[in-house]
Amino acid sequence: MAPRRTYTDTERTHVLDLHAKGVTRNAIMRETGYSARFISDTVADAGLTFARGAEVAAATQAKQIDNKARRATIIGRLYAQAEAVLDRLEQPTRYKTMVKGEKGVDIETVLDFIPPGDRRNELTSVGISLDKAVALEKIDTDNGAGQALSMLDRLAEQLQGVPLADLDLGGSEPEAAALPEDQ
């Protein structure tokens, strides 16, 4: 086993200076090449920690708020896409599509009807857009109900097959066991 390296007071001061600037332990390791143990011990010996609980919690909350806003934007865009496709389907007098021309070359064509395959594809895309929008909406409106339901499902699975007599369902106090008369 290799002997432990000894560090100088200058190196310890350098670690504490980086810590004071808010540099993380792993970033100090990468920058200096010092061991994680040396960095952690140096910080601990100075009565400091790398704990950034409040800072991390605030950043996490900000990220959650940003993601909620992003989901709301995406949901709006998905609904707009679904509406645009439905609008296009409701204008059957002018439907632009691609048809195969000579030698398999695609040609943009305006038809006075919607080909059945195109109608099916368009309606499928509407359904997918709406499904995804609803799934995103559930993220922000679930309020933990999904987890509670999952827990209740697991509990029900565990209780299946347990004889009813083995379940303590509350109710009246259990009767005291009778003692033999000679005691």
- Please provide the distance, in angstroms rounded to a whole number, between the alpha carbons at the two ends of the chain: 71
Predicted confidence at residue 180, as pLDDT, reads: 60
Residue matched to tokens 């001061």 = 13
Report the C-alpha gap between 173 and 20 in whole angstroms: 63
Residue 98 phi/psi, 5-degree rounding, is -110, 135
> At residue 161, does pLDDT exceed 80?
no
Q: Mean pLDDT over residues 39-48, rounded?
A: 92
Predicted confidence at residue 66, as pLDDT, reads: 93
3-state secondary structure of 52: coil
Range with the poorest average pLDDT among 53-57, 118-122, 135-139: 53-57
With b for 16 or more beta-carbon neighbours within 10 A and e for fewer, the 62-88 pattern comes to eeeeeeeeeeeeebeebeebbeebeee
Q: How confident is the model at residue 182 (pLDDT cuts 50, 70, 90)?
A: low
Report the C-alpha gap between 106 and 89 in whole angstroms: 21
Residue 122 phi/psi, 5-degree rounding, is -65, -45
> At residue 72, does pLDDT exceed 90?
yes
Q: Which CATH architecture has domain 9-50?
A: Orthogonal Bundle (1.10)
3-state secondary structure of 18: helix
This prediction's pTM: 0.49
Q: Of residues 74 and 89, which shows the higher confidence score?
A: 74
